[in-house]
Amino acid sequence: MQGLEVEEVLDVSPWRKWIAVQARIPGKEGKAVVLLEKKPFDVEDVKRMLAPNAGAEYKLDFQNAEYCVYNLQVPPALNAIKCDTIFPATDQQINKYRKDEIHVLWETVDIYKNVVLPFVEENERGRRIQWVHNILDGSAEQERIIYHNNDPRDGFVLLPDLKWDQTNVSNLYCLAIVNRKDLVCLRSLNDENLDLLQNIYHQGCGAILEKYGVTPDKLIVHIHYLPTFWHLHVHFLHVDLALSAGVTSKAHNLRDCIENIRLLPSYYQVKEMEVRLLEKSLLWKAWTEAKDAEAATQLQDGP
């Protein structure tokens, strides 16, 4: 690939130093998605970059007393950019990377029971999480499992998340997936599940310590709500990764979850929860349709 004609910027993240564009390859039919991301610093590259004979060009942008800000131009060999491409890209793949509006909402218990849970059971369970069932029944990814508690009620499997390449423990990212298939998400939990949650925390931290040498005080352990997939699972992140990635409001610390349930066994069955929905998501559509129907009913009933 020698060159591209950019047609549209799909999304850009200054924080991630990442951009997604739609482009065309001259002389070829079809559209391409190109993802560009600044690569993390390599220590040896930094040494070469700052060396006196590196050929770097410093341009002063700001100075106040001992504090200076420079724009630093370095040789191309020390400024590599990761470039992922999809070609030919379907409209669905293009839309996946197109920026979408985010709505911050409060989910009541009624909304969960009458809108979210029915939507999840119809659209997000079954075949959508077959890959999870394959791990649990032993037909897939068994070589990746770090730890397995086989107890059908209070057990789980622990394995590295696919986002982690298992080379740098500062980027450690593991998932604990519960054996029980009836536990959908954080809202499913009550005091009957305390042994399970304790097992996940203590046994999970112990397995990570034994396998990777990372102590519990270097781990952030949490449950996402809304989750990425609707089978109860727990995230284990190295604190360095969690701080650099920015743990979002959908992350609920596992030990806080345990304590909340101890204080009130039905805590997650009665609490209003903050959720964030993308406008192009099917759940957003179901949510707004339910709200529209509720508003219409109230108008028909009168004051």
Q: What is the 3-state secondary structure (H, E, C) of 207-244?
A: HHHHHHCCCHHHEEEEEECCCCCCCCEEEEEEHHHHHH
Residue 16's pLDDT band, with cuts at 50, 70 and 90, is confident
Residue 163 is labelled as binding a ligand: yes
**Average pLDDT estimate for 67-87:** 89
Residue 148 is labelled as binding a ligand: no
Question: According to CATH, what is the number of the domain 1-39+81-98?
Answer: 3.30.200.40
**Closest listed residue to residue 174, CA positions, set 163, 160, 164:** 160
Residue range 222-275, pLDDT digits in tens: 999 999 999 999 999 999 988 766 566 789 999 999 999 999 999 999 999 999
Residue 210's pLDDT band, with cuts at 50, 70 and 90, is very high
**Average pLDDT estimate for 60-87:** 90
Residue 264 is labelled as binding a ligand: no
**pLDDT of residue 296 exceeding 70:** no
Tell which phi-psi region holds residue 246, choosing left (phi > 0), alpha (psi between -120 and 50) or beta.
Answer: left
pLDDT of 243 reads 78
Q: How far is CA 76 from the centre of its chain?
A: 32
**Closest listed residue to residue 180, CA positions, set 205, 202, 157, 198:** 157
Q: What percent of the chain has pLDDT over 70?
A: 94
Q: What angle do CA 70, 75, 78 make, to 5 degrees?
A: 95
Candidate ranges 14-23, 37-46, 83-92, 223-232; pick with highest mean pLDDT: 223-232
**pLDDT of residue 297 exceeding 80:** no
**Average pLDDT estimate for 153-162:** 96
**Average pLDDT estimate for 128-150:** 95
Strand ranges, E, within the chain: 5-13, 18-24, 32-38, 57-64, 67-73, 81-86, 102-107, 147-149, 156-160, 173-178, 219-224, 233-238, 251-253, 273-278
**pLDDT of residue 121 exceeding 60:** yes
Residues of the chain with CATH 3.30.200.40: 1-39+81-98
Q: What angle do CA 5, 10, 14 make, to 5 degrees?
A: 105
Residue 299's pLDDT band, with cuts at 50, 70 and 90, is very low
Bridge partner residues of 255 (DSSP): none
Three-state DSSP class for 185? coil
pTM value?
0.77
Q: What is the mean pLDDT of the chain?
A: 91
Residue 87 is labelled as binding a ligand: no
| Range of lowest pLDDT (66-80, 110-124, 180-194) | 66-80
* φ, ψ dihedrals at 148, nearest 5°: -140, 115
Residue 235 is labelled as binding a ligand: yes
Burial of 163 (0-12, 13-18, 19+ CB in 10 A): exposed
Q: What percent of the chain has pLDDT over 90?
A: 70
**pLDDT of residue 276 exceeding 80:** yes
Residue 228 is labelled as binding a ligand: yes
**pLDDT of residue 130 exceeding 90:** yes
pLDDT of 302 reads 45
pLDDT of 163 reads 84
Residue 39 is labelled as binding a ligand: no
Q: How far apart are CA 282 and CA 288, in angstroms?
A: 10
Residue 277 is labelled as binding a ligand: no
**pLDDT of residue 83 exceeding 80:** yes
Residues of the chain with CATH 3.30.428.10: 100-292
pLDDT of 40 reads 80
pLDDT of 242 reads 81
> What residues are labeled active site?
233
Residue 29 is labelled as binding a ligand: no
pLDDT of 247 reads 60
Q: What is the DSSP letter of 164?
A: -
Residue 141 is labelled as binding a ligand: yes
The reply to whether CATH 3.80.10.10 applies to domain 100-292 is no
